Structure 1
Amino acid sequence: MSNASTNAQTGSPSKYDTLIAATNSIDPVQTIVVHPCDETSLRGVLDSAGAGIIRPILVGPEGKIRNTADTHGLDIAGIEIVDALHSEAAAAKAVELIHAARGELLMKGSLHTDELMRSITAKAGGLRTDRRVSHVFVMDVPAYAETIFVTDAAINIFPDLDGKRDIIQNAIDLFVQAGFGTAPRVAILSAVETVTAKIPSTIEAAALCKMADRGQITGGVLDGPLAFDNAIDPDAARIKGIESEVAGRAQILVVPNLEAGNMLAKNLAYFAKADSAGVVLGAKVPVVLTSRADSPRARMASCAVAALHADACRRRARAAAV
């Protein structure tokens, strides 16, 4: 799908096209790409580099990377390659390069996600911060006016209350720092919109909203528990008598657990024809996490949102140093 694609329902440029275009205002972000040893991952890197979003360093078996490029007619001339024997070694080396200030982003290539995440979350030498690492799907749903965030649908299986606090804060920070707007509307999802001891996620949702009231979560407007329908549909919220800034027009959807989030994101992708960009947050640098099923435009959007976030982090660090 080309960058000139449009929303089939409105004829207007897609949300991802707008997102990708926003990177024109920033310098390409130095990006460590881990084990890009198949056509899909290597082509995604070159597309994003060609669009001026990233400046890649490729980490992995050099012979295999060059063979992939030659086989598929991909031009990697002028791109630095750091040789590593295999995928696990590539992940470890990529983390070393981040510590050496060689890059501001990590990007997953053709290795398994758990291989990359093991190196990122390692207690010794990893990229941990005081935040829980979490994943955000940044979704372009043609039928929905907003770019929608779904979190966490890929990293944390059954997050506890403190974990959900970090998951929400990570998503809010990404929303604001990547330029989607200010004070995002955060819906904490459950099966129902009332608090009941029979469904523990409703109690956690209520607690998270109170944590936001007390300043333990900042920068967003929270409401929950909300069922999916009254989180995203104004009529559903009105029928249920729910009046809030969030109900019916949520921008960030916080799911109870990974299973629910993964099913929600894939339902949106396959039934609603949504594109989904993926970013991991909470480490020392953002991590672009793509899937083999991603469209070329979704891969580029993943790079774009991570690059915008990294650029904002860089500017904030410079301002703090002055």
Structure 2
Amino acid sequence: MTSASPMTQFTNQTFDQISLGETVTVAHTVTRDEVELLALVSGDANPFADCEALADGTEPLPRCDGVSAEALVHGVLKRRLPGPGTVIVAHALTYAGQAHVGDELMATVTVTDKQAPDRVVLACQVRRGEDVLVDGHVTVQAPSAQRTVDERESTNVVLRRHDVFGRLFRQCEHLLPVTCAVVHPCDRDSLAGPLEAARHGLITPVLVGPQAKIRAVAEAHGLDISPWRLVDVEHSHAAAAQAVALARAGEVQSLMKGSLHTDELLAAIVPSATGLRTGRRMSHVFVMDVPAYPRMLLVTDAAVNIAPNVRDKADIVQNAIELAHILGVAQPKVAILAAVETVNPDMPATVDAAMLCKMADRGQITGGLVDGPLAFDNAISIEAARTKKIESPVAGLADILVVPDLEAGNMVAKQLQYLAGADSAGIVLGTRVPVVLTSRADSVRMRLASTAVLKLVAHARAQG
């Protein structure tokens, strides 16, 4: 018998590699999050309704039935034996007793039979000490090929109760794909991303870059680029210039950054004579799906304007308001962020906030409710605003966060992503066509969401 130890990767076994009698045992402690996730799936709206109290009577101790122990069995089968790619086709399990949050469970699976070409039968048991909670057999279809999955990717679960991106995808469903110049897609991610977006009907990609290099990447990673137009240029600088020229000529409705530096693409966009600038200052907006926040949250500018002055910020605010309108927020609430909520002449961000609010009062910024300065907590927490006795239609309810400068914006956006589990889409506005600046760290969902935003903006522009 082998006892599973902590690991960072799971490598599966194919049918031929599995041996009769092979056994894996895994120890696991039941957590509160697991009980809540199982309750969500099972439809038990209140998994704690009948739970026992702790010794001091202050907090309930959630409990779960055999379903949670069965889930542990499934986890062992799909991660350890046979491992990633396993398909459960039948099971006969009996349940006895309940597990509580904090219980130490021991799950054991043993290969008892192999049925060609790919079926494997395993005896499965889950114990809590001497108590047997689950016992029986499970039949699986063994993986057809060997592969390895990173443990961190396979266990990263975030509850998205509001599903901001899901709503964006639904808004796109009945709109035609927009033509998008993908600039220098010369690595796997920058080429596979737009092809996946095309598969979902978001864009019609035009691949702009060195033809030989793009074809080599496609061949190396099994990507089919034959349906799409390929514009051959020598290098990344030429790709940026050619993509901008296509947009100016009306041949494409949008741009997407590939495997070139952001500065290279923006350098082609910025020139007034040959680029894509309008009378409005260019700015970047993150569209964020924050699990703990009850609405879509826009953060601007965290990618383009390093240290904007108040005139620049007025354009940044207006760009974000107009994006919010396109995304379905009729009157967005705009919080101008600073470290404090009072105007202090020694803190330029608070002075800029006061000026922006007055500009909104005078009609120089339109379409939203603008207030500031507001500290971050007062902008997104009603309770924090109430505690500080801030009376504002924006405080605690912000749809848009306007940051003092790029460094602050980058920190806010990255902290929301990495500490709060937020997903983010991003887009550049203030240009003749919308521009997406993808990142190598973006997940597939984030890349698709950015493309969905691009599609919605392009269609709104086309309708005038």
Q: Same fold (TM over 0.5)?
A: yes
Output the TM-score relative to the length of structure 1.
0.94
- Determine if contact 2:278/2:431 at 8 Å carries over to the other structure: yes
- Identify the residue that residue 276 of structure 2 maps to in structure 1: 127
**Distance across 1 between alignment mates of 2:164 and 2:275:** 34
- Identify the residue that residue 284 of structure 1 maps to in structure 2: 432
1:1-322 mapped onto 2 (5 Å cutoff)? 8-9=158-159, 12=161, 14-177=163-326, 179-316=327-464
- Identify the residue that residue 320 of structure 1 maps to in structure 2: none
Offset of 1:123 from its aligned partner? 2.9
Secondary structure in structure 2 of the residue aligned to 1:25: coil
**Distance across 2 between alignment mates of 1:106 and 1:9:** 32
**Distance across 2 between alignment mates of 1:301 and 1:78:** 23
Secondary structure in structure 1 of the residue aligned to 2:173: helix
**Distance across 1 between alignment mates of 2:170 and 2:223:** 24
Give per-residue Cα distances to partners, 1:249-302, cap 9 Å, x unaligned. Answer: 101000000010001111111101111111000011110111000000100000
**Distance across 2 between alignment mates of 1:215 and 1:47:** 42
Give per-residue Cα distances to partners, 1:83-102, cap 9 Å, x unaligned. Answer: 01000000000011011111
Offset of 1:241 from its aligned partner? 0.6
Structure 1 runs of 4+ aligned residues shifted over 4 Å read none
Offset of 1:27 from its aligned partner? 0.7
- Determine if contact 2:158/2:421 at 8 Å carries over to the other structure: no
- Determine if contact 1:193/1:227 at 8 Å carries over to the other structure: yes
Give per-residue Cα distances to partners, 1:199-241, cap 9 Å, x unaligned. Answer: 1110110110010010100101101000000000000000011
**Distance across 1 between alignment mates of 2:278 and 2:425:** 23
Give per-residue Cα distances to partners, 1:100-126, cap 9 Å, x unaligned. Answer: 111111110110000000000013301
Offset of 1:13 from its aligned partner? 6.4
Offset of 1:306 from its aligned partner? 1.2
Offset of 1:21 from its aligned partner? 2.1
- Identify the residue that residue 4 of structure 1 maps to in structure 2: none
- Determine if contact 2:208/2:239 at 8 Å carries over to the other structure: yes
Offset of 1:152 from its aligned partner? 0.4
**Distance across 2 between alignment mates of 1:14 and 1:219:** 25
One-letter amino acid of the counterpart of residue 203, structure 2: I
**Distance across 1 between alignment mates of 2:162 and 2:315:** 33
One-letter amino acid of the counterpart of residue 126, structure 1: G
Offset of 1:76 from its aligned partner? 1.0
Secondary structure in structure 2 of the residue aligned to 1:300: helix
Unaligned regions of 5+ residues in structure 2, if any? 1-156
One-letter amino acid of the counterpart of residue 175, structure 1: A
Secondary structure in structure 2 of the residue aligned to 1:263: helix
**Distance across 1 between alignment mates of 2:274 and 2:290:** 38
**Distance across 2 between alignment mates of 1:149 and 1:13:** 15
Fraction of identical pairs, as percent: 58
Give per-residue Cα distances to partners, 1:141-178, cap 9 Å, x unaligned. Answer: 1111111111000110110010000000001111102x
Secondary structure in structure 2 of the residue aligned to 1:267: helix
**Distance across 2 between alignment mates of 1:239 and 1:180:** 31
Secondary structure in structure 2 of the residue aligned to 1:298: helix
- Determine if contact 1:153/1:257 at 8 Å carries over to the other structure: yes
**Distance across 1 between alignment mates of 2:271 and 2:217:** 30
Report the RMSD for the aligned CA atoms in angstroms. 1.3
Number of equivalenced pairs = 309
**Distance across 2 between alignment mates of 1:244 and 1:29:** 40
- Determine if contact 1:187/1:254 at 8 Å carries over to the other structure: yes
- Identify the residue that residue 3 of structure 1 maps to in structure 2: none
Which structure has the larger Rg over C-alpha atoms? 2
More strand as a share of residues = 2
Output the TM-score relative to the length of structure 2.
0.65
Q: Which has the higher contact order (CA 8 A, sep 6+)?
A: 1
Offset of 1:8 from its aligned partner? 3.9
Secondary structure in structure 1 of the residue aligned to 2:180: strand
Secondary structure in structure 2 of the residue aligned to 1:150: strand
